[in-house]
């Protein structure tokens, strides 16, 4: 026998071979497929007689499956133990890699939701169905549309109101210009002139319901040449916001960045 046949082997923890798959054992042992009844020719053998016995025992364990007979020899049990450890390390590595993306995206969504106040979340829940439909028609992210409405209406807490104090449902701050023939109401607003904020009274459109609100919003952006750069920007909220600012949607020089900052608080629907 070779010296390696007498190396001390670690003790087997528990019943021999229990819970191990044949594939895992074969991977660690790197053994050829040897029929248990076929003798190995002396001129081609690469194992010592003890090694041949171990190979046959492991091969029999593989063919019977992990539910078969236990591995009797300490050498075979040691090989099976190494296979189990190797398989466990490989499985943990795969699980860690596959979970990385999901953990990151879930953490981002949880962080965004945690930054919202209850009134802000209620506003998003209220407008979500219309925002998603509008976003689909404009080719942009629903988060971009919801962020735009939140910016212009103060998360629904500072709506444009008529003379009776009624909500005009003008969530996007659209002025009664460009041939608008519908209802309108005057309201105080902030405009920027030469970089300075100036309070002015201007006329704003008034709507009967959210269907009319979002329908008019889609028509304005889709049909105006000024806002074509904002359309079909997909999930790129920065491109959407920059397209609106470049088209002159607002006079605030920080308008695009304000919209983007709000969008980061909104989890993806």
- The number of C-alpha atoms within 13 Å of 167 and in the hemisphere containing its C-beta is 13
Catalytic: 152?
Answer: no
Q: Which two tokens stand for residue 32?
A: 């050829």
Q: Please, where are the H alpha helices in 115-226?
A: 118-138, 142-153, 210-223
Q: For tokens 């003798």, what's the residue?
A: 39
Q: What span, in angstroms and rounded, lies between the C-alpha atoms of 65 and 117?
A: 57
Sequence length of the chain is 269
**Could you tell me which residues are beta bridge partners of residue 190?**
199
Q: Which residues contact 2 (CB under 8 A, 6 or more apart)?
A: 48
What is residue 161's DSSP assignment? B
- The neighbour count for residue 26, using CB atoms within 10 Å, is 18
Q: What torsion do the CA atoms of 207, 209, 212, 217 make, to the nearest 10 degrees?
A: 80
Contact call for residues 151 and 258 (beta carbons, < 8 A): yes
**Could you tell me which residues are beta bridge partners of residue 196?**
193
Catalytic: 57?
Answer: no
Q: Which of 53, 162, 216, 252 is catalytic?
A: 216
Q: Which of 191, 209, 211, 254 is catalytic?
A: 191
Q: Residue 63, Cα to own-chain centre: how many angstroms? A: 43
Active site residues per annotation: 191, 216
């Amino acid at each position: 026998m070779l010296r390696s046949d007498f190396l001390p082997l670690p003790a087997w923890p528990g019943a021999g071979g229990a819970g191990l798959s044949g594939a895992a054992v074969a991977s660690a042992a790197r053994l050829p497929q040897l029929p248990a009844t076929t003798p190995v020719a002396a001129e081609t053998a690469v194992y010592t007689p003890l090694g041949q016995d171990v190979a046959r025992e492991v091969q029999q364990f593989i063919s019977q499956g992990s539910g078969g007979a236990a591995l009797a020899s300490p050498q075979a049990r040691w090989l099976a133990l190494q296979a189990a450890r190797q398989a466990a390390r490989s499985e943990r590595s795969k699980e860690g890699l596959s979970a990385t993306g999901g953990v990151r995206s879930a953490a981002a969504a949880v962080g965004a939701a945690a930054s919202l106040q209850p009134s802000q979340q209620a506003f998003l829940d209220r407008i979500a169905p219309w925002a998603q439909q509008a976003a689909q028609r404009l080719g942009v992210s629903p988060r971009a549309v919801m962020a735009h409405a939140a910016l212009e209406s103060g998360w629904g807490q500072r709506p444009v109101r008529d003379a009776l104090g009624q909500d005009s449902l003008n969530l996007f701050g659209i002025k009664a210009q460009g041939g608008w023939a519908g209802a309108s109401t005057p309201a105080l607003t902030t405009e920027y002139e030469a970089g300075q904020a100036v309070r002015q009274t201007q006329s704003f459109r008034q709507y009967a319901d959210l269907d009319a609100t979002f329908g008019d919003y889609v028509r304005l952006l889709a049909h105006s040449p000024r806002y074509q750069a904002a359309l079909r920007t997909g999930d790129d909220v920065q491109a959407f916001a920059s397209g609106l600012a470049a088209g002159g949607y607002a006079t605030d020089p920080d308008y695009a960045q304000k919209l983007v900052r709000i969008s980061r608080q909104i989890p993806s629907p």
